[in-house]
A = this chain, B = another copy of it.
Amino acid sequence: MGALAEIADILGPRLSTGESVRALHGRNEAHFPPTLPEAVAFPETTAEIAAIMRACAAHGLPITAFGTGSSLEGQHLPIRGGLSLDLSRMDRVLAIHPEDQIAIVQPGLTRTRLNADLRATGLFFPVDPGADASLGGMAATRASGTTTVRYGTMRENVLALEAVMADGAVIRTGSRARKSSAGYDLTHLLVGSEGTLGIITELTLRLHPQPEAISAAICRFASVAAAVDCVIAVIQSAIPMARIELVDETMVRGFNLHSGTDLPENPHLFLEFHGSPAAVAEQAAAFREIADGFGVAGWQDATTTEARNALWAMRHNAHHATGALEPGKRTLATDVCVPISKLAEAVVEAQDLARAMGLTSAIVGHVGDGNFHCGVRVDPDDAAEMARALEFSGRLAETALRLGGTVSGEHGIGIGKQKYMAAEHGAALDWMRTLKAAFDPACILNPGKMLPPEG
């Protein structure tokens, strides 16, 4: 009996080989060509995943986890065929412990559904990538978002995991305690491993108290350099920013086209402050004082909940708003992260390069972390434009490395950025290969991802 027949025995009708289901699991929001799995599994329990894994291991069938399909470097694409493991039926909140500020959830749950469930508890889960991604996928790609400057990435907010390993073993890493010095940190080895070392089947997440008061604002600058220099000064002050997002002039144009707003087409910072009412007012005033030193050209408060929600909905729609810039094309989304002292240099270089290469590139950035994204509009059928866009992305990665940064702050490696792994990691890449070989000797876990081919 082949692997798929064995898995069909386990799942019954929850194993699908239908063309449309396979197509749905082989497409992506980025620029990669569709690649269909042989079949799609819809497990409902960890025990089912363990049994599926044993079948895959016995037959050498590749297995690639699928959350919501929103990854931007092709992480969920089954490029070596095999099984797409769709975790959407494992989407429950298993427990909320408000006194411990943790939630235990299944990997298919999305971040907004978790926060909806948390509303009455006075707690929230802060990590917010653009998409309403699954929490398992967010952990697997070490996602972050607009609140990372204050609350951290998935690395800081995943306390413990359950995972199914390549031989079908089910392990639990970490505990409900906030910290531990007991043993190797397998939790943070799995976080960011893009499904290549194990499949995450349960997450214990750290929650945070909803701030007593929140205020937001939009702040306009004459140049990107002025905006970024302001960010650097603010981060060096002790103002505990909750959000500090750069939106460049091209991205503002995209927002205006997509949301019908009429923001002046200048670089902006979108800001949020969390704390007591007095603290929030004090932080905003301290920020403005610093910003004035960088020639702030406009300031707009968003104090009501509606105004604030509108502001962040606009920001979270950046991917779609980029699409409004040159309708009919696709977006090649790339992200890098640099030391904050090099941020202005990197952003200005990215803008100049796109201009010189004749590309439309919109920049949004979690600039408090030194992280920014370029969304480059490309016509996939225009080979020359696609080549230019990829060259742009490559040169941006080189810039990030030259400035002491990383080729990805949050989108990950997947398919698209393997070519930079050797340059970023040098000899450490050998030890990543050692790790992969030890944990997945038959290479069935998301094969072809993250680690570049040898030689």
Contacts and interface: CB of A to CB of B under 8 A. Distances in A.
A259 interface: no
A28 interface: no
Interface string A141-185: 111100010001101100000000100011111011111111111
Contacts of A405: 175-177
B183 A427 contact: no
A421 interface: yes
B101 A178 contact: no
Interface residues of A, number: 94
Given A232-B99, A236-B101, A238-B212, A424 B337 contact: no
Given A236-B98, A431-B165, A337 B177 contact: yes
Contact of A450 (B144, B175, B183, B189): B183
Contacts of A100: 339-341
Interface in A390-415: 400, 404-413
Contact of A369 (B178, B191, B428): B178
B432 A179 contact: no
Nearest to A121: B236
A159 B182 CA distance: 20
Given A99-B341, A100-B340, A236-B99, A185 B175 contact: no
Nearest to A411: B181
Nearest to A148: B179
Contacts of A142: 179-181, 185
Contacts of A404: 175-177
Contacts of A434: 438-439
B424 A175 contact: yes
B185 A412 contact: no
A180 B406 contact: yes
B186 A188 contact: no
A235 interface: yes
A293 interface: no
A169 B408 contact: no
Given A155-B185, A438-B434, A337 B178 contact: yes
Interface stretch (A111-119, A243-251, A276-284, A300-308): A276-284
B438 A437 contact: yes
A107 interface: no
A212 B212 CA distance: 22
A371 B183 contact: no
A309 interface: no
A43 to B, nearest CB: 19
Nearest to A171: B428
Contact of A278 (B172, B282, B340): B282
Contacts of A328: none
A430 interface: yes
A370 interface: yes
Interface string A181-207: 111111011011100010000000000
A434 to B, nearest CB: 5
Given A184-B189, A192-B185, A341-B97, A178 B370 contact: yes
Given A97-B341, A101-B235, A141-B181, 20 more contacts: A97-B339, A100-B339, A142-B185, A144-B179, A155-B188, A169-B431, A178-B339, A178-B369, A179-B369, A181-B406, A183-B425, A183-B429, A184-B189, A186-B428, A188-B189, A210-B238, A212-B238, A238-B275, A434-B439, A437-B438
Interface of A: 97-102, 122, 141-144, 148, 152-153, 155-156, 165, 169-173, 175-186, 188-189, 191-193, 197, 209-212, 232, 235-238, 240, 275-276, 278-279, 282, 286, 337-341, 369-371, 400, 404-413, 417, 420-421, 424-432, 434-439, 450
